[in-house]
Amino acid sequence: MTPPHSTTPVDVVLPAYNGAAMIRAAIESALRQDVPLRIIVVDDGSRDDSAAIARSCGERVEVIVQENRGVSGARNTALRAARAPYVAFLDQDDVWKPGKIRRQLDLIEHRPDVGMVFTDMTILDPDGAVHEDGFLAATSQYAALEREALGDHAFLLPPELAEAVVRFNFVSPSTTLVRREALEQVGAFDEQFRLCDDAECWMRLLSRWRGIAIEECLVLSYRWGGNASLVRARALMEERIRIGDKVRASPASYPPGSVDYFRRARPVALYRMGMAALRGGDATGARAHFAESLRERFAPATLAALAFTMLPAALRRPLLRAKRAAGLRWSLRIE
């Protein structure tokens, strides 16, 4: 059942998990927006006082506490409570710049065919130093799109945006303002995915709705060291493979060419999982991934990597160190 109509145009969806250190700054950046809005914080089984901090931020903040279901589950819980026609996503360790929501709202309200407006973002190291000041223009999948200038750094993007996001997701949740109707139409987030849930949702949404980008950094996002872990890298690849399985099962829900792309991407994902396992010291797991990749597509790099896993551990370690020192790389790309 659709919730009753809201008196505010925007509901903010903020999933929280052990976010006590940063969540107040995220909430306050939303409260400073010059648009009436409500913030729905879903505490996803935190073991700290994230929920208490959120409750202390005022009456415009609604807090829902649930057992841990992952970020996709927390977002879906908030969406079920949403009433406003537009939804803005905000992660607990991100901060919006003043005026972000007003600029997005002015754009989407005048384009009924647009389901999402997103912005660029500045990525910060934990100490606050700038790691990357914007990435849209430097992302080849985005830069290749034909863009119609709308003024004030905003661009209407072509339908091919959806296909670009299939290849690489350059749309961070905290940068988005999304039409709630569009999310309801495509079924929101698939909770089987915990790392790529946003990318998979955008694929489905943008296959039916247009998008607008604001090529200006209106979000500050902190980059924590754990995001680059080998375990996370393997998990990301595993989810991409499972997204490909879902695409093959329901191709009409995804952009044109998605089935073919994921078919070609699968052996590369398996290869990269193998390399992550190898770097983590799991030669047996690496061997299994390389062998499966070879069954999907023969590549000399994969064969060399598979052979490497069959060497004694006493030989693998110094050879791997020498390879790194020499700057040598085994690489495999999507054809």
Q: In this structure, is residue 306 part of a structural domain?
A: yes
Angle at 21 between CA 15 and CA 24, to 5 degrees: 65
pLDDT value for 15: 97
Report the distance separating Cα 104 and Cα 10, nearest Å.
11
Residues 77 and 152 reside in one and the same domain? yes
Q: Are residues 125 and 245 in the same domain?
A: no
Same domain, yes or no, for 56 and 126? yes
Nearest residue to 35 (alpha-carbon basis) of 96, 126, 95, 114: 96
Show which of 203, 227, 251 is a domain's final residue: 227
**Last residue of a domain, which of 165, 195, 227?**
227
Q: Residues 61, 85: one domain?
A: yes
CATH of the domain at 285: 1.25.40
Q: Is residue 332 situated within a structural domain?
A: no
Q: What is the pLDDT of residue 329?
A: 64
Residue 302 has a pLDDT of 93
User: Are 292 and 214 part of one and the same domain?
Assistant: no
Q: How far is CA 152 from CA 104, 110, 156, in A?
A: 11, 15, 12
CATH of the domain at 38: 3.90.550.10
Establish if 335 belongs to a structural domain.
Answer: no
Instruction: Record the tokens describing residue 42, joined without a space.
Output: 């879903």
Please give the residue range of the domain that contains residue 307.
229-325
| Of 259, 260, 166, the residue nearest 205 (C-alpha) | 166
Let me know whether 182 and 126 are in one domain.
Answer: yes
Pairing of strands 94-96, 114-124: unpaired
pLDDT score of 56: 97
Q: Give the integer Cα–Cα distance in Å for 24 and 16.
A: 11
Taking 70 as the pLDDT cut, the residues of the chain under it are: 1-7, 224-230, 320-330, 335
What confidence score (pLDDT) does residue 71 get?
95
Element (H, E) at 79: helix 70-81
Three-class HEC string of 158-203: CCCHHHHHHHCCCCCHHHCEEEHHHHHHHCCCCCCCCCCHHHHHHH
Residue 149 contacts residue 214 (beta carbons within 8 Å): no
Q: Select from 192, 227, 262 the last residue of a domain.
A: 227
Phi, psi of 156 (to 5 degrees): -80, 130
Contact predicate 207/255, CB 8 Å: yes
Collapsing DSSP states into helix, strand and coil, what is residue 44? Answer: strand
What distance in Å separates the CA atoms of residue 238 and residue 276, rounded to the nearest whole number?
A: 12
- Per the structure, the count of domains in the chain is 2
Q: For residues 35 and 107, give the distance between their C-alpha atoms in angstroms, rounded to a whole number.
A: 14
**Residues facing residue 222 across a β-bridge:** 124
159 and 82 within one domain: yes
Residue 87 has phi, psi (to 5 degrees) of -125, 130
Strands 37-44 and 61-66, bridge-based pairing:
parallel
Token pair 């200006």 is found at 216
